[in-house]
């Protein structure tokens, strides 16, 4: 099994529903995202997937969230925009647009330098 990973970031605001504490108030983050994919077969050039393509695909997933109020964007208009839910959402979005034979393995989302949540597929 081969693994690739790329990193990118986006900035957005959100507020947590059903939460008691300062995060129930409107606030923003500069989110950092690490996307890891996996696959069993390499192409004729010896690549699972070109890093530039993987970076472009991750940027496409993040574009909708960048400089936005997450609570207004589906699915976060109904689903609480927690780091955990954002990681799961991005995992699913990547899964829809990756090349055949390449599948998401794990997405990690940092909401601050020291706090992150990950979602991993089975």
> What is the average per-residue pLDDT within 21-47?
95
- pLDDT band, very low/low/confident/very high, at 121 (cuts 50, 70, 90): confident
- Exposed, middle or buried by CB within 10 Å (0-12, 13-18, 19+), for 28? middle
Residue 122 has pLDDT above 80, yes or no: no
| 7 classed as catalytic | no
**Which is the catalytic residue, given 23, 27, 84, 115?**
23
User: Per-residue pLDDT tens for 86-105?
Assistant: 999 999 999 999 999 999 99
Question: Would you state the pLDDT for residue 76?
Answer: 98
Residue 23 has pLDDT above 90, yes or no: no
Please count the structural domains in the chain. Answer: 1
Q: Which domain holds residue 29?
A: 2-120
Residue 15 has pLDDT above 80, yes or no: yes
Beta carbons of 109 and 116 less than 8 angstroms apart? yes
pTM value > 0.75: yes
Lowest mean pLDDT among 20-24, 32-36, 68-72: 20-24
> What is the average per-residue pLDDT within 30-40?
98
CATH number at residue 57: 3.30.479.10
| 113 classed as catalytic | yes
Q: With the CA atoms of 116, 11, 119 and 4 taken in that order, what torsion angle do they form, in degrees rounded to the nearest 10?
A: -100
| 23 classed as catalytic | yes
**Which is the catalytic residue, given 40, 67, 84, 115?**
67
């Amino acid at each position: 099994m081969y693994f690739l990973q790329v990193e990118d970031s986006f900035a957005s605001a959100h507020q947590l529903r059903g939460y008691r504490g300062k995060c129930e108030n409107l606030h923003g983050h500069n989110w950092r995202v690490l996307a890891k994919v996996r696959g069993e077969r390499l192409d004729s050039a010896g690549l699972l997937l070109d890093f530039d393509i993987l970076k472009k695909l991750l940027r496409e997933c993040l574009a909708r969230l960048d400089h936005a109020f997450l609570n207004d964007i589906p699915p976060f208009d109904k689903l609480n925009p927690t780091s955990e839910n954002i990681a799961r959402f991005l995992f699913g979005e990547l899964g829809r647009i990756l090349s055949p034979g390449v599948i998401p393995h794990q997405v990690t989302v940092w909401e601050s330098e020291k706090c992150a949540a990950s979602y991993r597929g089975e």
